[in-house]
């Protein structure tokens, strides 16, 4: 499963709500999830669960007529999260570097030593 599928799956607000329900309650049946998502009907929840399953973000376990869904910690969502963490780390390093080289607030800019010696 690709990271792109995970990002597509996570892009929808209803699917993120479904993931939140599963994260809070652990493995849930499709009916339990549908009961928790009030703004859309059961058929819509089932469609969103299919997208989440196909993308590998959730896993499905069948027991008789029932289907139970749980988060897939090793699926493409993990790779998507690692990608986002890498971006955040890079941005934080740049921010830290900028903060360390910026003059203190309210003070004059620091001149390079070569200018001070020439002046």
Flag whether 21 is in a domain: yes
Domain that holds residue 7: 1-101
Q: Is residue 68 part of a domain?
A: yes
Position 36 in a domain: yes
What pLDDT is recorded for position 117?
57
Domain count, the chain: 1
Which pLDDT score is estimated for 2? Answer: 74
What digits encode the pLDDT tens for the residues 38-61? 899 999 999 999 999 999 999 999
What single string gives the DSSP state of each residue in 39-79? TS-HHHHHHHHHHHHHHTSEEEEEETTEEEEEE-TTSHHHH
What's the mean pLDDT when you consider all of the chain? 85
- CATH of residue 23: 1.10.10.10
| pTM greater than 0.85 | no
**Structural domain includes residue 34:** yes
């Amino acid at each position: 499963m690709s990271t792109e599928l995970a990002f597509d799956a996570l892009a929808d607000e209803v699917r993120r709500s479904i993931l939140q329900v599963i994260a809070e309650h652990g493995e849930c049946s499709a009916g339990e999830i549908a009961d928790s998502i009030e703004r859309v009907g059961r058929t819509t929840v089932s469609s969103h669960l299919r997208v989440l399953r196909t993308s590998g973000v959730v896993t499905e376990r069948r027991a008789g007529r029932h289907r139970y869904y749980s988060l897939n910690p090793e699926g493409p969502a993990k790779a998507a999260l690692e990608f986002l963490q890498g971006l955040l780390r890079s941005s934080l390093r740049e921010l830290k570097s900028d903060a360390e080289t910026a003059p203190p607030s309210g003070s004059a800019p620091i001149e390079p030593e070569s200018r001070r010696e020439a002046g």
